[in-house]
Copies of this chain bind each other. A is one copy, B any other.
Amino acid sequence: MRIGVMAPARGLDPARAAEVEAFVALTFPDVELVVHRQCFLSDGHFAGPDAARAAAFLDLANDPAIDAIWFARGGYGSNRILSRVMPELGPAARDKAYCGYSDTGFLLGALYARGVGRPVHGPMPIDLGRAGGDVTVTRSLAWLTRGARAGLEPSLGGRPAAAFNLAILAGMIGTPWLPDLADHVLMIEEVSEPLYRIDRMLFQMAHATQLKGLAGVRLGAVRDVQANDPPWGETLESMMARWCGEMGVPYLGRAEIGHDADNRVVPFGLA
């Protein structure tokens, strides 16, 4: 099995890439990891210019010899290649999985909106650097290689699901890149935001015309919450209940996704 790695947003440190290659060689000996050299480009904020990131994605997506694309890491920038890559996807792109989270949710969402391949929210190569990161990245690798269910988000089953970073979800609302999530359980997680911004994004989610008909919403980890001035004075649970109430959709409780080592795998659709 051949898994291609490219970086649609920020780049991957070559040393980290070497660690990931060594880890995969040891733990998944039947996997050939194809790390696209684009991962190591640098252009300001990004792993190379938009054109280079788009070309690398298409190299791997349209290659019938690649079984899955594992996004190297997030950051910011996946949205900037959507217009370039989505119209250029050929038949080989439909027959593979795409795994990542955070900023790469722009690509997962756009692929799911068009029914291309099997988008999967899951840990990325960069996560090997976390404490316990070997367990973390194994969840994605085990799902991609043998459909192992041990790393799946525990509430999954029975209903289709999708998982997004809240800021990325909010940034897709009102655009054609947001998939139809009717009857899906939507899982959201967040990192490095103050609570007033989280509240504003939940407002947008709750009022989004495109998100009518969700089966329910679950909240993943909310990490590194930034200071709110003045103090916010409301719990995340209360915020979720309030906005889901305004949305007319059940708040189903917590989900084990997030920007941390506990991040689990959420295949888009039925798992």
A contact set with B: CB distance below 8 Å: 43-45, 76, 79-80, 83, 167, 170-178, 196, 199-201, 203-204, 207-210, 228, 230-234, 246
Distance between A196 CB and nearest chain B CB, rounded to angstroms: 5
With A200-B76, A200-B79, A204-B171 as known contacts, state yes or no: A176 contacts B209, CB within 8 Å: yes
With A79-B203, A199-B76, A200-B79 as known contacts, state yes or no: A175 contacts B209, CB within 8 Å: yes
The residue in chain B whose Cβ has the minimal distance to the Cβ of A80 is: B203
The residue in chain B whose Cβ has the minimal distance to the Cβ of A82 is: B207
Measured CA separation A205–B3 after assembly (Å): 34
Residues from chain B with Cβ under 8 Å of A43 in the complex: 233
Measured CA separation A228–B201 after assembly (Å): 22
- Copies of this chain per assembly: 2
Would B196 and A171 count as touching, CB distance under 8 A?
no
The residue in chain B whose Cβ has the minimal distance to the Cβ of A210 is: B174
Would B231 and A44 count as touching, CB distance under 8 A?
yes
The residue in chain B whose Cβ has the minimal distance to the Cβ of A79 is: B203
Would B228 and A174 count as touching, CB distance under 8 A?
no
20 contacts between A and B (CB under 8 A): A44-B232, A44-B234, A45-B228, A45-B230, A45-B232, A45-B233, A79-B200, A80-B203, A170-B170, A171-B201, A172-B204, A173-B174, A174-B174, A174-B175, A174-B207, A174-B209, A174-B210, A175-B204, A175-B207, A176-B209
A44-B230, A171-B203 known; 5 new pairs, CB 8 Å cut-off, are: A45-B230, A79-B203, A170-B171, A172-B204, A174-B204
Would A200 and B175 count as touching, CB distance under 8 A?
no
